[in-house]
Amino acid sequence: MNREFSQLNPGKRYLMGPGPSDMHQRVYQAMSAPLVGHLDPYFQQVMEETKDLLRYVFQTKNEWTIPISATGSAGMETCFTNLIEPGDEVLICVGGYFGDRMAQMVERHGGKLVRIEGEWGIPFSASQVKQALDNCNASLVGIVHTETSTGVEQPVEDIAKIVHEHGGLLIVDTVASLGGTNIPVDSWEIDICYSGSQKCLSAPPGIAPVTMNERARDRILGRKTPIDSWYLDMGLLMKYWGSERSYHHTAPVSSIYALREAMLLIHEEGLENGFSRHALNYTAFKAGIDAMGLSFFVEEPYRAPMINPILAPEGIDEAKLRGRLLQDYGIEVGGGLGALKGKAFRVGLMGQCSQKDHVMLLLGALEQVLLAEGHQVQASGVSAAAIVYNS
């Protein structure tokens, strides 16, 4: 092989897109801790602490609360492969890119898909879900709490009540929102919930936290057919993560170290303080975007504080804008997905990226990039954000 290689050096980045997010220095340090075996007594202690911290972040007492050794999409697949048997009717609320992914998984795992379409940028109402359930026999309902493609934060508490009144179980995607806004799994009576490590938790990509209550556990243990995935079989996984410690797979020890440290930081800050921090930085960011004369895709009442698509001004190539932000300032923001492809860029204020310095840097850089592209902003976004921070 004639190719030459050098050491990795990606340079300084501010990860302000839809994920991954920046990580605290302590998380990097945790990843460099000495490796031990995945059945080592010390790692077993780390496993127990990780489960306890996950329960804290999910606000649950569920015994079946573990990190899946794979990305957030594998967390999604874990839930569907364990809970769907061939022919089961499953209702999926599709209001964006990841709701559609849920629907695809239902069909791949042999479920009978009942799909209700929502307008991108608008949350589902409990009455929409009720009407759909009145006209089908779905025993599972899936919905995304914060749709990464649109930035909509979906109220789910009332929907959970409707699902339970119809005798079903509710699966909620919190990949983009867990740790950034209030999601009390137990008090909202969410049956199955999954997330990802790389967004508001600010850990490396590659781990999918999952929690399931007793109703979900009983459905899985009472299946008539085998689960169609060996690797994601929750019964087998709980024999490893539970008291038996039966070998299942070689856990990604360093990634679990990192997740534990990231959640410890959340615990030290306190959930409510973290939610308030995300809300404040979104408010300052909103003030800056409004002052510059730019437009959010989602109406204010429906916006999530941690991810927001911003519509590209007329005549501005959003891909070129994102390229300039990355090249000139080291700031990564995301492109639009699905219906928003080429029309918007997505800004993430997730976890360690939800900080005053990140907001002010992005607003200042965005103004300069727009000016370089020939677009005159209405007023200083930095000044508008500063008023929020100083109030």
Instruction: Write the pLDDT tens digit of every residue in 15-67.
Output: 999 999 999 999 999 999 999 999 999 999 999 999 999 999 999 999 999 99
pLDDT tens-place string over residues 287-317: 999 999 999 999 999 999 999 999 999 999 9
Neighbours of 276 (CB within 10 A): 13
Whether residue 152 contacts residue 303, with contact meaning beta carbons closer than 8 Å, is answered with yes
The set of long-range contacts for 27-30, using a CB threshold of 8 Å and a minimum separation of 24, is 27/202, 27/203, 27/204, 27/258, 27/261, 27/262, 27/265, 29/261, 30/254, 30/257, 30/258, 30/260, 30/261
- What is residue 178's predicted lDDT score, i.e. its pLDDT? 98
CA angle 76, 81, 84 (to 5 degrees): 115
CA atoms within 13 A on the CB side of 234: 32
Instruction: Measure the N-to-C terminal CA separation of the chain; round to a whole number of Å.
Output: 61
Domain residue limits, the chain:
25-267, 270-390
Measured from the Cβ of residue 154, the count of other Cβ atoms closer than 10 Å reads 24
The pLDDT value recorded for residue 2 is: 82
Contact 289, 313 (CB under 8 A): no
pTM over 0.85: yes
Q: Are 235 and 71 in contact (CB under 8 A)?
A: no
Task: Specify whether the CB–CB gap between 205 and 20 falls below 8 A.
Answer: yes
In this structure, whether the domain defined by 25-267 belongs to CATH 3.40.50.720 is answered with no
The answer for 111, left when phi > 0, alpha when psi is -120 to 50, beta otherwise, is beta
Cβ neighbors of 350 (< 8 A, separation 6 or more) are 19, 21, 176, 180, 199, 200, 202, 306, 307
Concatenated DSSP letters of 257-286:
HHHHHHHHHHHHH-HHHHHHHHHHHHHHHH
Token digits for 184?
Answer: 């009390």
Spans of the chain, pLDDT less than 50: none
Are the CB atoms for 259 and 47 separated by under 8 Å? no
Other beta carbons within 10 angstroms of residue 104's beta carbon come to 13
Closest CA to 57 of 159, 171, 193, 243: 193
CB 80 within 8 A of CB 109: yes
CB atoms within 10 A of CB 56: 15
Q: Using omega within 30 degrees of 0 as the cis cutoff, is the peptide bond preceding 20 cis?
A: yes
Catalogue the E-assigned strands of the chain. 14-15, 64-68, 89-94, 112-117, 140-144, 146-147, 152-153, 169-173, 192-194, 208-212, 295-296, 307-311, 331-332, 334-335, 344-348
**Given this model, what pLDDT does residue 361 score?**
98
- So what CATH class is 270-390? alpha beta
User: What is the distance between the alpha carbons of residues 143 and 96, in angstroms, rounded to a whole number?
Assistant: 10
| Residue 263 C-alpha from the chain's centroid | 15
| pLDDT at position 344 | 98
Task: Tally the residues of the chain.
Answer: 391
Token pair for residue 157? Answer: 């508490």
CA dist 299 and 239 (Å) reads 46
**What is the structure's pLDDT at 15?**
98
Q: Give the separation between CA 199 and CA 214, rounded to whole angstroms.
A: 27
pLDDT for the residue 205: 98
Residues 6+ apart with CB under 8 A from 204: 20, 23, 27, 31, 197, 198, 255, 258
